[in-house]
Structure 1
Amino acid sequence: MELRHLRHFVALAEERSFTAAAGREHIVQSGLSTSIRALEKDVGALLFVRGTRPIRLTAEGEALVPAARRTLEAAAAARQTVQEVHGVLAGQLRIGALQSTAHTLPVASWLAEFSLAHPRVDISVRQLSASEMVGLVIDGGLDCALVALLDQRPTGLEVVPLLAEPLVLACSATHPLAGERAVRLDQLIGERFVEAPPEWAIRAQVDRAFADAGLQRRIACVVNEWSMALDLVAAGAGIALVPEGLDFTLHPRSSDALQLVPLAGIRLERRVDLVLPSGHAATPAARRFADLVKTKVSP
């Protein structure tokens, strides 16, 4: 059943004249007749009594009029909703975010600005691993996500680069390497590592760096939260390779007991990007948020 057939039916029911209804709908009378016959075929009943002037509805036609009007009103409301979303943004923004970007990216500030500018948009934030968030953006479970990607660029996604910060060695202030100006990866063999879970992009990058160098290491602790990792390192439970820009003042128990040492001979870095579906596949809210972010990070 097509909306245009219902619209033609309502016009004829209200005008009670093929000439008037055809003029109202800006079609020829033969086109209106064809449309009415198609609708009658769809519903399986005659809707008008043939040969009467003015046009008279059958019982089935009388019954269809209010339902047809409601359907046309619902369709108009749906179109209006889409137009409002396109112009005056409404709906929701489902965004994924890393746990540890507030020290370098004011994500909360961006979301607050976005929320104030678009009060009809409801925002929900999920903090998951990068691989999970990328998968959810691809599958439609998230509208966009702030993720730490490796070298790959997922097919079908737009990637907005936000930052790149080097990884450095974090060790306790009493560790033998704490006094070094820089350390090589081979100097870390035999150390106990405090590591992120395997699905984190930063863990994958570190694993790959050691594998490429033909080096093996011992992972003594795996935690999925930076503050716990830093506390373990500060307590001497192991060492870790962490983003240089972590705000260590947020971890008062460990900040004074930690020492950061640059890496020598290799540059490892954590990149953070905003990913969202390419082109029209992105939701209006995701597209508008990406536009806001671009203005914040552009040089």
Structure 2
Amino acid sequence: MELRHLRHFIALAEERSFTRAAARELIVQSGLSSSVRALEKEVGALLFIRGTRPVRLTAEGEALLPAARHTLDAAAAAHQAVQEVHGVLSGRLRIGALQTIGHTLPFTTWLAEFSRAHPGVDIAVRQLPALRMLAMVTAGELDCALVTVVPDHTEGLDIVPLVAEPLVVACAPDHPLASAEVLTLDRLDGEQFVETHPEWAIRVLTDSAFRDAGLTRRIVCEVNEWTMVLDLVAAGVGIALVPQGLDFSLHPRPTGSLRLVPLAGVRLERRVDLVLPKGHAASPAARRFLDHVRRAGAPA
């Protein structure tokens, strides 16, 4: 059983698309298909239900997936054990990151420095909603993630705080709330909101804050990208709670098209933490990346 066949199988199981899985593995789609068929022939069972979108695992495929992940992890650990004798780090760093991580932390600088220090490590970055990334770190699908931690989703994970920033109210300049110097949460009761999807940490924080305060809001639009949130707010569709550290200059809209108003009377902030599996469950690359971030002196 070839490791590359297992790697291609895992990619297809996670991406649920031959096109995306082939792009992820940097091979042509026909090569991925051949690799998966070879594995199916070896194990004597179909692993995927073809002809459906998205591609789905068969019962045999579901059974193989955790064992395949364990096998690749064990192979990587064996290779790294030998390399560490010579002080060399190799393999792959699969890291998750928030869409807006570059506005808050020097993420690309960290990656560039880490890559120069460890040229034998291939880096794969995934930008996904917070809840999905936390689940992927727990499942071993990501080595670590820079993410906003959501309570009740951290079992088995080490949490390393990096930075915290308050949430502020974003609204159009002609919105009735735009003239306020500061706003309390109860002033937002009943307002129309533009929101991210429920898997996003900001959404979880906002939902929790309104629920705890006994307040309601009308979610008139849900989107999965920050630029769209800000564009809809600027257009007057609704208001939003956004991280204060978001670099609004990077988003192409006229100056003055958004008004940001601080919140008072409630501590509502987005923390960004580095999360990785506890102890020896963390990959050597993840542990070394954590060491690098600590040496770089992440803002507190």
Q: Report the TM-score when normalising by structure 2.
A: 0.71
Contact 1:160 1:294 survives alignment (8 Å)? no
* Alignment correspondent of 2:111: 111
1:190 Cα deviation from its structure 2 partner:
3.0
Q: Count the aligned residue pairs.
A: 222
Trace 1:1-299 onto structure 2 (pairs within 5 A). 82-85=81-84, 87-152=87-152, 154-253=154-253, 255-295=255-295, 296-297=297-298
Q: Distance in 1 between matches of 2:89 and 2:235?
A: 49
Contact 1:234 1:254 survives alignment (8 Å)? no
Q: Distance in 1 between matches of 2:158 and 2:225?
A: 28
Q: Distance in 1 between matches of 2:84 and 2:285?
A: 8
Matched position secondary structure for 1:94: strand
Contact 1:95 1:123 survives alignment (8 Å)? yes
Q: Which runs of 4+ in 1 moved over 6 A?
A: none
Q: Distance in 1 between matches of 2:80 and 2:191?
A: 59
Q: Distance in 1 between matches of 2:252 and 2:138?
A: 38
Q: Distance in 2 between matches of 1:232 and 1:155?
A: 36
Compared with structure 1, are the counterparts of its residues 255 and 232 closer, same or farther at alpha carbon in structure 2 (3 Å cutoff)?
farther
Q: Report the TM-score when normalising by structure 1.
A: 0.71
Name the aligned partner's letter for residue 283 of structure 1: S
Compared with structure 1, are the counterparts of its residues 184 and 219 closer, same or farther at alpha carbon in structure 2 (3 Å cutoff)?
same
The runs of 5 or more residues in structure 1 that have no matched partner are 1-77
Matched position secondary structure for 1:164: strand
Q: Distance in 2 between matches of 1:298 and 1:181?
A: 28
Matched position secondary structure for 2:101: coil
Q: Percent identity at matched positions?
A: 63
Compared with structure 1, are the counterparts of its residues 214 and 298 closer, same or farther at alpha carbon in structure 2 (3 Å cutoff)?
closer
The runs of 5 or more residues in structure 2 that have no matched partner are 1-76
Compared with structure 1, are the counterparts of its residues 89 and 171 closer, same or farther at alpha carbon in structure 2 (3 Å cutoff)?
same
Superposition CA RMSD, Å: 1.7
Moved more, 184-193 or 174-183: 184-193
Q: Distance in 2 between matches of 1:79 and 1:127?
A: 29
Contact 1:153 1:159 survives alignment (8 Å)? no
Name the aligned partner's letter for residue 125 of structure 1: V
Contact 1:231 1:254 survives alignment (8 Å)? no
Q: Distance in 1 between matches of 2:170 and 2:80?
A: 52
Q: Distance in 2 between matches of 1:193 and 1:85?
A: 52
